[in-house]
């Protein structure tokens, strides 16, 4: 069945590459030529190129039986869409090739994924499901052969949700992390193998409590970074706390120690990895030069997705470099992204007093760098209005709220469907806020204070809404010099 489905999808691949035009088609973010995209899968460096696989439904712009889409790049900037790597339809994955990971051993690429089968009506969790862990291999990175099931069942009979294998090498052996749900409590399960085919269950490395940790840890990732072990996952079922956890589902991490007895000892609280509206299912890759890179799905379940009208939906974030600072992770744009820059424009914004001021920068594919002077400003709110329409009805606001000591991303007027406000703290001793902003046609990614915080959100303004304004409310706002680059339109 795998062969039949792949033959059908590959034969239509050239047609799928003829991307539908769309007001929201991203210029330099990975998105599907057609159909649906969600979780990044199988991030791997193989035969001199980066490979990104992703959850994909090629036949509809809505979620459906999951395939693995595929793209590759030599430089993390210019991506080439490749034929679909995995299709559902075998006895062990009839209803979906769910999320997973990839590793390379002896010039062979190994894809690990969850084979999914509904026990009742498709999409009805209440009627049950069966999930197994599966393997596929390739020697050329294009043609994949399914090797079947490598883990037949969850280690406990009361576990139904059991998915998203993340495989990595620890010492001389291979380890696998899996997310699971026992009752209403999330679990991190660990396995070990010497040959990537035969896996021994090591135990539950960490178990959460529904009230504190949600009910399921999807897309687990365990990795060492600068002498610390990091557990990164996508919790489901968390409730908002203060300014945190306002998305339907989150991406969270904690630092700790993965011990040889297969237990994970947390040494920090849970932290959100990204504070925007649209960031989920983050996964990492160890680059050849030792950097830890991360991508995520730049959308959120149950959110407006206007591009579905144009027969495609979903995107991935820009690749980011992870580092540790104290007990927190820091995310910076991958350094290769400077290759996107086409032309630079610098201007002095200066002092804005109780008004808005149009800036001599316009566009929908831009990179911006700017500092907001918190200490010397008196305004209640001051910052930037981005993707502004001429009549002021559309704008995405990014500003300092002096009274709350927060940097705010406000998309109440950001275009079709979307709304909501997200924010990150400004420390009392902080005198300025450094912003590094990437604007694409239907997205904004804001790196704050050299990646101490990041806010990633989808926006859907009219293509004519390309203005930028500096503004201040009830007082003066002091702005540093603005550096702006027009970015390449790669139509990925």
Residues acting as catalytic residues:
39
Gap between the terminal Cα atoms of the chain: 30
Q: With contact defined as beta carbons under 8 Å apart, do 190 and 172 qualify?
A: no
* Residues 82-101 as b or e (16 or more Cβ within 10 Å = b): bbbbbbbbbebbebbbbbbb
The DSSP annotation for 376-444 comes to T---SEEEEEEEE-TTSS-EEEEEEETTTTEEEEEEEESBSS---EEEEE--TT--EEEEEEEEETTEE
Q: With contact defined as beta carbons under 8 Å apart, do 320 and 225 qualify?
A: no
Distance, CA of 231 to CA of 338 (rounded, Å): 30
Among candidates 353, 413, 404, 406, which has minimal Cα distance to 386? 413
Q: In what order do the strands lie in the sheet with 381-388?
A: 356-358, 467-473, 381-388, 395-401, 406-413, 421-425
Task: Tell me the CA distances in angstroms from 398 to 201, 481, 482, one per residue in order.
Answer: 48, 16, 14
Give the DSSP H/E element, type plus range, for residue 213: helix 210-213
Record the tokens describing residue 62, joined without a space. Answer: 């809505």
Which residues make Cβ contacts (< 8 Å) with residue 97, sequence separation at least 6? 66, 67, 68, 86, 87, 88, 113, 114, 115, 116, 134
List residues bridging with 360 in a β-sheet: none
How long a stretch of residues is the chain?
492
DSSP class of 316: B
Q: With contact defined as beta carbons under 8 Å apart, do 352 and 473 qualify?
A: no
Q: With contact defined as beta carbons under 8 Å apart, do 482 and 361 qualify?
A: yes
Q: With contact defined as beta carbons under 8 Å apart, do 316 and 54 qualify?
A: yes
* Residues 52-80 as b or e (16 or more Cβ within 10 Å = b): bbbbbbbeebebbbbbbbbbbbeebbebe
What is residue 118's three-state secondary structure? strand
Per DSSP bridges, beta strands 35-46 and 312-313 are parallel
Radius of gyration of the chain (CA): 23
């Amino acid at each position: 069945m795998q062969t039949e489905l792949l033959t059908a999808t590959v034969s239509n691949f050239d047609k799928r590459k003829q991307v539908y035009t769309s007001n929201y088609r991203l210029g330099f973010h990975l998105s599907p030529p057609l159909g649906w995209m969600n979780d990044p899968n199988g991030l791997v460096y193989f035969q001199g190129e980066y490979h990104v696989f992703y959850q994909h439904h090629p036949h509809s712009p809505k979620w459906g039986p999951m395939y693995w889409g595929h793209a590759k790049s030599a430089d993390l900037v210019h991506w080439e869409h490749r034929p679909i790597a995995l299709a559902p339809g075998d006895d062990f994955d009839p209803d979906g090739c769910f999320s997973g990971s990839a590793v390379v051993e002896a010039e062979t690429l190994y894809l690990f994924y969850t084979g999914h089968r509904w026990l009742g009506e498709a999409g009805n969790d209440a009627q049950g499901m069966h999930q197994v862990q599966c393997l596929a291999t390739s020697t050329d990175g294009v043609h994949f052969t399914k090797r079947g099931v490598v883990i037949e069942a969850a280690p406990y009979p009361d576990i139904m949700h059991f998915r998203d294998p993340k495989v990595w090498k620890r010492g001389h052996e291979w380890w696998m992390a899996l997310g699971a749900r026992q009752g209403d409590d999330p679990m991190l399960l660990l396995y070990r193998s010497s040959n990537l085919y035969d896996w021994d269950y090591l135990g539950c490395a960490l178990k959460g409590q529904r009230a504190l940790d949600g009910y399921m840890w999807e897309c687990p990732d365990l990795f060492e970074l600068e002498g610390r072990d990091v557990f990164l996952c996508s919790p489901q079922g968390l409730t908002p706390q203060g300014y945190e956890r306002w998305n339907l589902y989150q991406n969270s991490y904690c630092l700790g120690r993965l011990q040889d007895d297969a237990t994970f000892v947390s040494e920090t609280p849970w932290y959100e990895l990204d504070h925007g509206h649209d960031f989920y299912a983050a996964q990492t890759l160890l680059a050849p030069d030792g950097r830890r890179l991360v991508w995520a799905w730049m959308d959120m379940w149950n959110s407006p997705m206007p591009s579905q009208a144009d027969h495609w939906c979903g995107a991935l974030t820009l690749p980011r470099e992870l580092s540790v600072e104290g007990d927190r992770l820091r995310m910076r744009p991958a350094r290769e992204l400077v290759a996107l820059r086409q032309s630079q424009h610098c201007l002095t914004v200066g002092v804005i007093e109780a008004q808005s001021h149009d800036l001599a920068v316009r566009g929908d594919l831009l990179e911006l760098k700017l500092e907001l002077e918190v200490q010397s400003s008196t305004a209640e709110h001051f910052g930037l209005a981005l993707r502004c329409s001429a009549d002021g009805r559309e704008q995405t606001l990014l500003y300092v709220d002096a009274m709350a000591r927060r940097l705010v991303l406000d998309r109440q007027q950001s275009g079709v469907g979307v709304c909501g406000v997200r924010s990150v703290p400004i420390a009392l001793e902080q005198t300025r806020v450094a912003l590094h902003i990437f604007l694409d046609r239907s997205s904004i990614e804001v790196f704050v204070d050299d990646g101490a915080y990041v806010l990633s959100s989808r926006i859907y303004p009219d293509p004519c809404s390309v203005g930028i304004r500096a503004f201040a409310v009830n007082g003066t706002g002091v702005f540093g010099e603005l550096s702006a680059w027009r970015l390449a339109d790669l139509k990925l």
